[in-house]
């Protein structure tokens, strides 16, 4: 595989960053995920962390160096992440189960596979247009589908962030899956939370990410989203990928996995212990406690799964 990848997560104007993101790759498979926690202090972000960390850990276990069935991995991975959040809430005696949106993608054999719950989005950009992507699990999206709202009206609708599917919570999530999407050199895959897609329209997103290296495009798009959102700016998180299987002359920052050992993975995952988390309104005790709770939930559910 040959690709360039860049990510960034910003707190916006909120006190806490409840977004979480991760990517990991082996010699033959790539995983990306973005989650947007929903709920109160140190709870929505815990749900997002459990979801992303569970999926990342599972990918590292199962892709050696490739996944036998990417869609099956996404199906049981998201379902088990949902259950891990519920188990965490029960173990901690929480009055309600925290929730998170989540979108996850696998790229293998130059084919992209993805699944999502909620309104965190994925876009595949080719030749200056959106080739494929997710559809929000929201009432506002349903109104767009019925022709009662335009996409621009939906972007400004006061109920645009009310979703009916998520991981965690009291209901079984609706998880939607993509079709297999064969990638071409020059394609861009972007995964983001609503803090990114909410303030900017699709045309600007495509123009910013589709015409530049993602290392330049990602910060530029986040700057624009923050500027347009102003004092109401939500957390913003974005992972973007330039697919370069048939790469050109300029390969600055390109990752090539063909020489990686079969049992090796490279992973990036921002969590409570990351530098950005340290800038939030969290004490050292808050962070240490959250990390231990999450590790316990992940380890417990992983052991239960292996014993079944």
Burial of 245 (0-12, 13-18, 19+ CB in 10 A): middle
Tokens of 112: 């992209």
- Angstrom distances, CA of residue 111 to CA of 52, 106, 156, 210, 289: 22, 8, 34, 19, 39
Q: CB neighbours of 93 closer than 8 A, spacing ≥ 6?
A: none
pTM of the model: 0.84
- For the chain, the structural domain boundaries read 2-301
Q: CB neighbours of 85 closer than 8 A, spacing ≥ 6?
A: 47, 50, 51, 97, 98, 99, 100, 167, 168, 297
- CATH no., domain 2-301: 3.60.40.10
Q: Which pLDDT tens digit goes with each residue over 180-221? A: 999 999 999 999 999 999 999 999 999 999 988 999 999 999
Q: Which of 31, 40, 175 is nearest to 107 (CA)?
A: 31
Q: Which pLDDT tens digit goes with each residue over 122-175? A: 999 999 999 999 999 998 888 888 888 887 777 777 777 789 999 998 899 999
Q: Which of 76, 70, 147, 81 is nearest to 105 (CA)?
A: 70
Average pLDDT over residues 277-296: 63
């Amino acid at each position: 595989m040959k690709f360039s990848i860049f990510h960034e997560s910003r707190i916006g104007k909120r006190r806490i960053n409840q977004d979480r993101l991760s990517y990991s790759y082996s010699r033959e498979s790539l995983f990306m995920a973005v989650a947007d926690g929903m709920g109160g202090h140190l709870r929505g972000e815990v749900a997002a962390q459990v979801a992303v960390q569970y999926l990342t850990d599972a990918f590292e276990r199962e892709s050696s160096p490739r996944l036998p069935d990417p869609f099956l991995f996404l199906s049981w991975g998201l379902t088990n992440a949902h259950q891990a959040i519920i188990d965490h809430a029960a173990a901690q005696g929480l009055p309600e189960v925290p929730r998170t949106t989540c979108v996850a993608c696998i790229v293998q054999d130059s084919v992209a596979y993805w699944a999502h719950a909620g309104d965190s989005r994925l876009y595949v950009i080719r030749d200056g247009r959106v080739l494929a992507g997710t559809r929000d699990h929201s009432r506002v999206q349903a109104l767009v589908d019925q022709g009662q709202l335009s996409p621009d009206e939906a972007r400004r609708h006061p109920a645009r962030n009310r979703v009916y599917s998520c991981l965690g919570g009291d209901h079984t999530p609706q998880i939607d899956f993509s079709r297999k999407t064969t990638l071409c050199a020059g394609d861009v895959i972007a995964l983001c939370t609503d803090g990114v897609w909410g303030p900017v329209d699709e045309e600007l997103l495509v123009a910013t990410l589709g015409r530049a290296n993602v290392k330049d495009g990602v910060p530029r798009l986040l700057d624009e989203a923050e500027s347009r959102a102003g004092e109401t700016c939500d957390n913003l998180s974005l992972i973007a990928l330039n697919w370069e299987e048939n790469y050109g002359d300029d390969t600055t920052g390109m990752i090539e996995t063909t020489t990686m050992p079969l049992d090796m993975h490279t992973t990036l995952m921002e969590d409570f212990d990351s530098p950005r988390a340290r800038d939030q309104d969290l004490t050292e005790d808050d962070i240490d406690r959250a990390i231990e709770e999450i590790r316990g939930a992940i380890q417990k559910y992983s052991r239960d799964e292996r014993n079944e």
